[in-house]
Amino acid sequence: MSSVTVINDAQFESEVLQADLPVLVYLWAAWCGPCRLVSPSIDWIANNYADRVKVVKMEIDPNPETVKAYKVEGVPAIRLFKGDELVHALEGAITKDKLTTILDSNL
């Protein structure tokens, strides 16, 4: 069983861009209502896709460098990386089914 790793701007390169597995980056904010709806799906992915994808989460307010670099304009936001390549980007609330469909088509 895996869990979601909480990271910050300083850890982004080592935890995401240099990871051995593809990485699902979940960007959120404490004040974001839809983020509270999506969080359980992110936890489910971390536990059920642990052998295929690493899941990290970043709070946007204290991490402006990553937010700017990956053009995050709204939360919740999802970014899927394979190595240092961004392969999928999504913003807004998403269902677990839609999230698994995106992962299955990109992993």
32: annotated active-site residue: yes
Task: Considering the candidates 23, 25, 35, 56, report the single residue annotated as catalytic.
Answer: 35
Q: How far, in Å, CA of 57 to CA of 92, rounded?
A: 15
35: annotated active-site residue: yes
Going by the DSSP 8-state scheme, the letter that residue 46 receives in this structure is: H
Task: Considering the candidates 7, 16, 24, 32, report the single residue annotated as catalytic.
Answer: 32
Sheet containing 54-59: order of strands: 5-6, 54-59, 23-28, 77-82, 85-91
Look up residue 46 and give its two tokens: 């971390």
Going by the DSSP 8-state scheme, the letter that residue 16 receives in this structure is: I
Q: What is the largest CA-CA distance in the chain?
A: 32
Catalytic residue set: 32, 35
